[in-house]
Amino acid sequence: MTAPDPIPLARPEIGAREEQLALEVLRSGRLALGPMTQRFERAFAERVGAPDAVAVSSGTAALHLGVRAVGWGSGDRVITSPFSFVASANCLLYEGAEPVFCDVDPVTLNLDPAAVWDAIDDETAGLLPIDILGYPADLPAFERIAAEGDLGLLEDACEALGARDSEGRAVGSREHPATFAFYANKQLTTGEGGMLSVPTPELASRLRSERNQGRAPNMGWVDHERLGFNYRLSELQAALGVAQLERLEELLAARERAAELYRERLTALDGGAPAGEGPPEGLVLPCADRGRERRSWFIYAVRLPASADRDAVIADLAQRGVEAKAYMPCIHLLAHFRERFGHHEGEFPVAEDASERLLALPFFPAIVEAQVDRVCEALGEALGGDWL
């Protein structure tokens, strides 16, 4: 009997419209800083409800320029989450600022506003919350904290395009810069790429200069009016972005459908409950939306039972043709953060517990019900007696 096809962890959804616009760019002869990038920026700003948006080469580039936009630099301390992709902290180091970590909410896994209050001192310059796994951080709370302390605020929304916060506002639409990423597993992909949503035309103009080696707005070849970087997004990447943005609602809906299938199947297996609704040491599913908050599904990651051996589960799933991945290490426990700042295990117990237990399951818009069934059955078998 032929073995079933492996189920990948992620797969981009690329179709005829992406091919059409990419071919349009190739035939135009304009491969950089052209009309397709401008078109992508305008459409993106309109979609998230921001005054303007600036396309760049990656989410990391967006974060770096965002740190510069807020004005953080040498000697500044910026409070952020230890439970995030490392770029959110590395971007502070690029400018000589120090990331100050504090623990996360046990349900959403986002930065805990109460912990932020406790971490503020006289050297605190700002806040960098992350919309982790597509769930919106408590931006109204962080805006109040920032206003009271006269602190800068930069939002890492790289995993959350399409999410809405507790006031029902689209992520990226508030009065501070927010960053987005378009890697191949994101809600919208350009292969590599990123975007900043920005509140003013003046800031957008400056960021467009900085992404292009600091060149003046008139694009004079040797007129570089400020320090800049090679953070340009190509026209081919922008073409993919335009096409993906045209059907973003369809892509988001497909992800939400896949997440609901997982919730139904894992709950039916009598072993999973959404965060905050079951025993914390058992299998924990992603938290449900609260109030007006709406997650934008980036990946589907469960917290395995505390007694489970995650590496063994991953290996078992691989034997069954199901790709899965540990997600993600705590930043403060990475080698260069330990060495530079003296971090150690036990500092942020909620984040560390999530880091040790989270497992990303196959998740992409085109995943079908039979594949979800197979993944859930394989996970149940891999966990065995550790299910509850």
* Separation CA 5–CA 365 (nearest Å): 17
Q: What is the pLDDT of residue 220?
A: 61
Q: Are residues 242 and 252 in the same domain?
A: no
Q: Could you say which of 246, 275, 307 is where a domain stops?
A: 246
Its domain, for residue 24, covers 16-246
Sign of CA dihedral 357, 274, 127, 170: positive
* Separation CA 66–CA 91 (nearest Å): 9
Q: What is the CATH number of the domain that holds 292?
A: 3.90.1150.10
Q: Are residues 180 and 277 in the same domain?
A: no
* Separation CA 224–CA 216 (nearest Å): 6
Q: What is the pLDDT of residue 221?
A: 64
Q: Could you say which of 246, 280, 298 is where a domain stops?
A: 246
* H helix intervals, 49-138: 59-70, 87-94, 113-119
Q: What is the average per-residue pLDDT within 169-198?
A: 98
21-25, 148-152, 279-283, range with the lowest pLDDT: 279-283
* Separation CA 331–CA 333 (nearest Å): 5
Question: In which band, very low, low, confident or very high, does the pLDDT at 382 lie, cut at 50, 70 and 90?
Answer: very high
- Predicted confidence (pLDDT) per residue in 261-287, tens digit: 999 999 987 667 787 777 778 899 999
- Predicted confidence (pLDDT) per residue in 85-128, tens digit: 999 999 999 999 999 999 999 999 999 999 999 999 999 999 99
Q: What is the average per-residue pLDDT within 349-366?
A: 98
Report yes or no on whether pTM surpasses 0.85. yes
In total, how many domains does the chain have? 2
Q: What is the pLDDT of residue 126?
A: 98
Q: Are residues 134 and 271 in the same domain?
A: no
* Separation CA 203–CA 196 (nearest Å): 10
Strands 152-153 and 124-128: parallel
Q: Are residues 234 and 258 in the same domain?
A: no
Q: Are residues 277 and 187 in the same domain?
A: no
3-state percent breakdown (helix, strand, coil) of the chain, nearest 5: 40, 15, 45
Share of the chain above pLDDT 90, in %: 91
Q: What is the average per-residue pLDDT within 72-85?
A: 97
- Predicted confidence (pLDDT) per residue in 27-55, tens digit: 999 999 999 999 999 999 999 999 999 99
22-31, 191-200, 213-222, range with the lowest pLDDT: 213-222
Classify 379 in phi/psi space as left (phi over 0), alpha (psi -120 to 50) or beta: alpha
pLDDT higher than threshold 70 for residue 384? yes
Q: What is the CATH number of the domain that holds 90?
A: 3.40.640.10
- Predicted confidence (pLDDT) per residue in 299-345, tens digit: 999 999 999 999 999 999 999 999 999 999 999 999 999 999 999 99
